[in-house]
Amino acid sequence: MKRGGDADVYEVFARFGDDPQEPIRWLGSVRSGDPELAWHAAKEVYTRREDCTLLWVAQRSAMVVSELGDAEALRSPSRLGYRVPAFPGRHRRARTKAAALAASEVSS
């Protein structure tokens, strides 16, 4: 990961519509010398049609963003296979199978 670039670039995030469960979307960026003015610039540029219910701007240089090299560390299911629901299922089936095998060996 790395720190974002230019100090006068602000990334713009918004939610549209009245559904509070709707995720906040990344829309793009604006350039401004001042955070409040950046918010107003974002409002003028990005909220011209749909009903915007939430608008955030964040200074790019204050953000920590992932890089290409972080991809592996971020990919949870392939790296941490034991956390997915199928894993305990497989675990249980393997145990049942082993027990059945042991039982059949005893009886033979």
Determine, following the binding rule CB under 8 A, whether residue 17 of this chain makes contact with other proteins.
no
Enclosing H/E stretch for 38: helix 35-46
Dihedral of CA atoms 24, 28, 33, 37 in degrees, nearest 10, equals: -50
- For other proteins, the closer of residues 45 and 102 by Cβ is 45
- Residue from 22, 3, 2 nearest 13 by CA: 22
Cβ atoms of residues 12 and 59 within 8 Å: no
Determine, following the binding rule CB under 8 A, whether residue 63 of this chain makes contact with other proteins.
no
CA 12 to the chain's CA centroid: 16
- For other proteins, the closer of residues 22 and 44 by Cβ is 44
Determine, following the binding rule CB under 8 A, whether residue 52 of this chain makes contact with other proteins.
no
* Binders of other proteins in range 27-46 (CB under 8 A): 27-34, 37, 41, 44-46
Token reading at 95: 């145990």
CB of 38 to other proteins, least distance (A): 10
* Interface contacts to other proteins, rule CB under 8 A: 7-9, 27-34, 37, 41, 44-46, 48-50, 65, 67-68
